[in-house]
């Protein structure tokens, strides 16, 4: 409840005075219509961080709009299955959906580039690209043929590398490994000799426990502890090379968004901006405490991927990305924008964030 009150207050403040650069806050509209919206999500109902983040966003929109937009939130499977969120919003079954772009690569291959890129930008860099680079415009160009309008609505930060029932000492240990890992990371695993499996969150624990999969990644300690993944696997590896700053999205049915008067549209969009920042803050605050619980109370063995394994995964990531951009001109344009932005921001971070981390450890 404290979190909900906090984020609702932030949303109201954002709507009042924190529009995107160059925009003026929208004046109150004489259009007093009310709207009843459904939000479908890819997350289990009430799941900490991801599911609650979606629910809080729905409550934020409703509260900041003075109840003029009422949002009923449905977890995965309650209205539509997790991986049908994109289609449900596209055709208007629901007005908004909460998920991640890499689930929709079968619809548009470039979509997965807007969630996470292996060895790509972290949360801070990705947000900068979205809001002050080409990110948002490219994203909307990719989703426009589906009558969708995507907005950043959460970020997990750097994720963990995953749960394994055997040690990973070399690239050979990934061969023949059946692992739940979506998006581009799954394609890299496949190239390394493993078998990627795409499962919604609610099915991961059972699949790992029964041996249907040999390993899994999910998010990080906060979410992984909530799923009880430590009960099904022994080794917990880092870093999350495949998801260094995963952007979660709210997708609007474009017709529904366009129907809103200007003030309600501004409220809905700025609530997403607030939710985007709040989720990263929550994961940053809770992950280390959850990791200590996993290690100290449950005996989880925390391991770092060997440098040579990470080096080879980076090489394979480049190959996978090159193949995608070679066959998909839209993905080529998106990835070129990401690479150019990452290269320039990395130079700044070398003398700012990275240099400070090193100095702090002296």
Mind listing the pLDDT tens digit for each residue in 209-236?
999 999 999 999 999 999 999 999 999 9
pLDDT at 30: 80
Q: What is the DSSP string of 277-301?
A: HHHHHHHHHHHHHHHHIIIIIH--E
- 77: alpha, beta or left, given left = phi > 0 and alpha = psi -120 to 50? left
Q: Longest Cα pair distance anywhere in the chain, in angstroms?
A: 65
pLDDT at 349: 97
CB 220 within 8 A of CB 50: no
Residue 24 lies in a domain: no
Instruction: Say how many residues make up the chain.
Output: 362
Residue 327 lies in a domain: no
pLDDT at 31: 84
CB 251 within 8 A of CB 38: no
For 7-65, what is each residue's pLDDT tens digit? Answer: 445 444 444 444 443 444 445 568 889 999 999 999 999 899 999 999 999 999 999 99
Structural domain containing residue 145: 2-19+34-157+244-284
- Spacing of C-alpha 317 from chain mean position: 19
Lookup: tokens for 190? 């496949």
Number of domains composing the chain: 1
Neighbouring C-beta atoms of residue 296, cutoff 10 Å: 9
Neighbouring C-beta atoms of residue 93, cutoff 10 Å: 16
Reported in sequence order, the residue ranges of 156-300 that DSSP labels E, i.e. its strands, are 162-164, 178-180, 195-197, 215-216, 235-238, 247-253
Lookup: tokens for 6? 């906090």
Question: Residue 290 and residue 225: Cα distance in Å, rounded?
Answer: 7
Residue 148 lies in a domain: yes
pLDDT at 174: 97
For 151-190, what is each residue's pLDDT tens digit? Answer: 999 999 999 999 999 999 999 999 999 999 999 999 999 9
- Spacing of C-alpha 206 from chain mean position: 23
Which pTM value belongs to this model?
Answer: 0.90
CB 155 within 8 A of CB 247: yes
Question: Residue 165 and residue 234: Cα distance in Å, rounded?
Answer: 5
Helical packing angle, 329-350 and 353-360, nearest 10°: 40
Q: What is the DSSP string of 71-97?
A: EEEE-TTTSS-GGGHHHHHHTTSSSEE
Nearest alpha carbon to residue 173 among 323, 313, 301 = 313
For residue 309, CA distances in Å to 1, 73, 119, 121, 305 come to: 43, 41, 13, 20, 6
CATH number at residue 111: 3.40.190.170
Residue 205 lies in a domain: no
For 287-339, what is each residue's pLDDT tens digit? Answer: 999 999 999 999 999 999 999 999 999 999 999 999 999 999 999 999 999 99
CA-based R_g, the chain, Å? 20
């Amino acid at each position: 409840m404290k979190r909900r009150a906090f984020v609702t207050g932030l949303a109201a403040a954002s709507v009042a005075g924190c529009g995107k650069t160059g925009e003026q806050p929208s004046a109150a509209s004489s259009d007093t219509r009310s709207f009843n919206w459904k939000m479908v999500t890819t997350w289990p109902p009430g799941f900490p961080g991801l599911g609650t983040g979606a629910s809080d966003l729905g409550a934020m929109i409703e509260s900041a709009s003075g109840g003029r937009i009422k949002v009923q939130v449905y977890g995965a499977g309650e209205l539509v299955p997790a991986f049908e969120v994109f289609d449900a919003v596209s055709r208007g079954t629901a007005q908004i959906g909460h998920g991640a772009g890499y689930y929709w690569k079968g619809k548009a291959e470039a979509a997965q580039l807007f969630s996470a890129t292996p060895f790509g930008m972290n949360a801070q860099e990705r947000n900068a690209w979205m809001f002050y680079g080409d990110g948002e415009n490219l994203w909307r160009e990719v989703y426009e043929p589906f009558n969708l309008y995507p907005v950043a609505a959460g970020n997990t930060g750097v994720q963990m590398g995953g749960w394994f029932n055997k040690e990973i000492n070399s690239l050979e240990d990934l061969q023949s490994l059946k692992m739940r890992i979506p998006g581009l990371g799954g394609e890299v695993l496949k190239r390394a000799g493993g078998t990627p499996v795409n499962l919604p969150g609610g099915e991961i624990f059972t699949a790992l426990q029964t041996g249907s999969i040999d390993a899994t990644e999910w998010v990080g300690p906060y979410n992984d502890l909530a799923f009880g993944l430590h009960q099904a696997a022994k080794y917990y590896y880092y870093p999350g090379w495949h998801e260094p700053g995963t952007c979660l999205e709210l997708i609007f049915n474009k017709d529904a968004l366009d129907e809103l008067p200007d003030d309600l549209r501004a409220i809905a969009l700025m609530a997403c901006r607030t939710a985007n920042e709040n989720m990263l803050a929550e994961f940053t605050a809770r992950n280390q405490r959850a990791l200590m619980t996993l290690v100290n109370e449950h005996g989880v063995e925390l391991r770092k991927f060997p440098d040579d394994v990470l080096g080879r995964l980076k090489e394979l990531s480049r190959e996978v990305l090159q193949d995608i951009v070679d066959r998909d001109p839209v993905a080529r344009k998106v990835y070129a924008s990401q690479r150019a932005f990452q290269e320039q921001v990395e130079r700044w971070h070398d003398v700012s964030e990275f240099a400070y981390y090193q100095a702090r450890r002296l």
